[in-house]
Amino acid sequence: MQIYLPIAEVSVNIFLLLGLGGGVGILSGMFGVGGGFLMTPLLFMIGIPPAVAVATEANQIVASSFSGVLAHFRRKTVDFKMGSVLLVGGLVGAAIGVQVFKYLKSIGQVELLVTLTYVVFLGIIGSLMFVESLNAIRKSKKPGAVYKKKKHNWIHGLPFKMRFRTSNLYISVIPPLLVGLLVGILAAIMGVGGGFIMVPAMIYLLGMPTKVVVGTSLFQIIFVTAFTTLAHATQNFTVDAVLALLLLLGGVVGAQIGARIGVKLKAEQLRILLALLVLGMCGKLAMDLLIMPSELFSIGPGGH
Amino acid sequence: MLRILALALAFMASAVSAQETVIVGLSQSNVAITANFSGSDILVFGAVKRSGELPADASPLDVVIVVEGPLQQVTVRRKEKKMGIWVNIDSVDIDAAPSFFTVATTAPLDDILPESLQREHAIGLEYAVRLPEQDLDAETETFNEAIARIRVANGLYSEREGAVNFSQETLFDTDIELPANLIEGDYTTKIFLIRDQEIVGQTSIQISVRKTGIERWIYNLAQEQALLYGLLSLLVALVAGYGASEIFRRLKG
């Protein structure tokens, strides 16, 4: 059954969209990420114009993160203070990102920039996660191994220190602001919530305890992606409500199924699978840049 | 003698000016893009009306039907390998490229109509995209060809030789397939009668393509009330997120 998307102005199979939403939802439920980094490139592949895919995906992430954060909220695993600091950085970043996106759209390089940021970030995160989880698996096989103590690094020398009770941290606000800013820019440009970069940054850079990381990340992602959605809707007119609704219906169901599969796997196994998934997507996008495309020309909307 | 000549001339003139006009109809002149729109088939049919007698040795008539979607400004970009990766390196802005274009004929176009006339009346894929005369260099020509090539691949442009049924030099019809990826606007349908490499009659009729119902409402809202539209999109997302969380919590509990 075909459905005509009013903003994208293309006709797509309704079950393809529900299936796509469901499939990505399962993965996001399993791994605790938004799944935007998978969904946006997949939307490009089924012929949704890139500008619409990026803006609409931001809207869908609002739904999935809100659904997820409610569970963390009940378990009291959301650090609102840390989330708010990240959010301040995130909103500024998102505002910058939407402007950058608008400018690149006008000079025709938006596709390249989106693909490049994807390749770089998926590559870095994927490799780091892969190595880390491989080490974790090795360590778990040697029961005598001792964990290294938390390092006291340069981050602790920065000024403007603040106490984050839920995270049990006393650190400068500069690193979380910068992390928020960076993720905000990425969220606007890539149409992702940035969970796949926010979660490792919170664990390894800020030293937050793992149990509050996912909830706090989701908490601030809601606001950043909501802001991104509004900015794209009012400046680029590219949010497709019908597309968002279909993806989100599949997504929320998939996420619940994924969460149940996730419970049955070990944490290291989950992380290594996610790492492989991230690296696979990175490889696919890198190949697109390196291999000669079958059609060298492309048609875009005119006007400046 | 002079009278006979004058009579003969008058007769010839009347034979040559045997007027042929086209009458055309459409199976539907309004196409509504609804939520489940999956393309539309339109039958273009008509007849040739003659006043006066045709000379017995008149060469056969051909019919060409052109359907053209709204003209759009587009930017065509070309990729090239720079520093190991494929990037867009140059672009050409085209002022008027039809969003949809199809030509149906009774015979191969090049056999029945000279190139100059094809260009003048925008008949044929090569002439679908209007380029300003002064810009006609080899460079723009490759970009122009690219538009036609990409849109033929997408099913938006087509050229169908022999697709017009024409019986007894009078009745004609053809099916026009409008694809699902249609944009709004007026689709101009032109019918040309061609004899001896000349256009001897033509007419045109509009097909109006409009979004209706919820499609219309969503599109207008997004364009005219962008902030409200954005807020509504967020509201839908939040409600769906809350709903899913509640439903699954109850299922578990």
pLDDT in tens, B82-92: 888 888 888 88
**Which residues in chain A are closer than 8 Å to B81, comparing Cβ atoms?**
292
Q: Which pLDDT score, from 0 to 100, does residue B36 have?
A: 84
Q: How many domains does chain B have?
A: 2
The whole-number pLDDT of residue A236 equals 82
Same domain (yes/no): B172, B219: no
Handedness of CA B161, B165, B171, B174 (dihedral sign): negative
Q: How far is B126 from chain A (nearest CA, A)?
A: 17
- CA-nearest residue to A230 within chain B is B230
One domain, residues B226 and B150: no
Flag whether B13 is in a domain: no
Least confident stretch, A19-23, A140-144, B35-39, B67-71: A140-144
Greater confidence, A147 or A17? A17
* Closest-CA residue to A19 (of A254, A281, A245): A254
Interface size between A and B, measured as CB pairs under 8 A = 186
**Residue B113 falls within a domain, yes or no?**
yes
- How close B49 gets to chain A, by Cα (Å)? 40
Give pLDDT, residue A39.
87
Instruction: Give the ranges where B55-95 is alpha helix by DSSP (H).
Output: none
B181 and chain A: CB distance < 8 Å anywhere?
yes
Cβ-defined contact of A237 to B222 (cutoff 8 Å): yes
Flag whether B63 is in a domain.
yes
- Are B164 and B237 in the same domain? no
Output the domain CATH number for residue B146.
2.60.40.3880
Q: What is the mean pLDDT of chain B?
A: 85
**Which amino acid, residue A276?**
L
Give pLDDT, residue B70: 92
pLDDT of residue B95: 81
* Tens of pLDDT, residues A82-100: 889 989 998 899 889 888 8
* CA dist., res. A78 & res. A220, Å (int): 10
Residue B27's pLDDT band (boundaries 50, 70, 90)?
very high
**What is the distance between the alpha carbons of residues B111 and B192, in angstroms, rounded to a whole number?**
15
Percent over 70 (pLDDT), chain B: 89
What's the mean pLDDT in A51-69? 86
B84 and B178 share one domain = yes
Shared-domain flag, residues B90 and B201: yes
Residues B78, B189, single domain; the answer is: yes
Among B211, B228, B245, identify where a domain stops.
Answer: B211
Tell me, yes or no, whether B232 lies in a domain: yes
pLDDT of residue B213: 87
The radius of gyration of chain B from alpha carbons, rounded to an integer in Å, stands at 26
User: ipTM score here?
Assistant: 0.80
Of the pLDDT bands very low, low, confident and very high (cuts 50, 70, 90), residue B8 is low
Q: Do A296 and B237 touch (CB under 8 A)?
A: no
Which pLDDT belongs to residue A147?
Answer: 47
Examine the domain organization and report whether B198 and B217 are in the same domain: no
Class of residue B189 by CB neighbours under 10 A (exposed 0-12, middle 13-18, buried 19+): buried
- Is the domain of B230 the same as that of B139? no
Same domain, B205 and B139: yes
> For position A269, what pLDDT does the model report?
78
pLDDT per position as a tens digit, B118-177: 888 889 888 888 776 655 677 777 888 888 899 998 889 999 998 999 988 889 999 999
| Cβ atoms of residues B88 and A298 within 8 Å | yes
Q: Are residues B76 and B151 in the same domain?
A: yes
For B174-230, the pLDDT digits (tens) are: 999 998 888 889 999 999 999 888 898 899 999 999 998 888 999 999 989 999 999
CB contact under 8 A, A299 and B76: yes
B45 and B82 inside one domain: yes
Q: Which domain range does residue B47 map to?
A: 19-211
**B90 lies within 8 A of chain A by CB:** no
Domain ranges for chain A, please list them: 2-143+153-290
Position A145 pLDDT exceeds 70: no
